[in-house]
Amino acid sequence: TIIKKGAKIDNLVQIAHNCEVGENTVMAAQTGLAGTTKVGKNCKFGGQVGLGGHLSIGDNVFIGAQSGVIKSIESNQVILGSPAMEIKEAIRAITVYKNLPKLRTEVSQLQKEIKDIKSQINSAVN
């Protein structure tokens, strides 16, 4: 494992075997890197970020807190979520997630209406 110059590692960060942390990278508390993960320079990790093993994280990558990274990330990306995804996609997913109970109710209501319409059509035909 190699930690390069200027890297800042907060408390309770776990860096496994054969990892590399690039220059000036910052990792907040409770971040974990699984084995053989390479992190580029000038990256910033929020708290409780988890990275799977054998990944490559490019330079200048920002990973939001509590993100779960399961695939390699190219340089100059901002990612968030679990599983981690590009920030715009993550925001859309979070918005949909928050609305799931309402959407479920609407779908159930629409299914009932469709069933009623089909029943009316069948009654009219017969």
- Give the residue numbers marked as catalytic: 17
> 1 to each of 15, 32, 39, 120, how far by Cα in Å?
8, 13, 11, 70
β-strands 50-51, 68-69 pairing:
parallel
Q: What value does the CA radius of gyration of the chain take, rounded to a whole number of Å?
A: 23
CA-to-CA distance for 112 and 35, rounded, in angstroms? 51
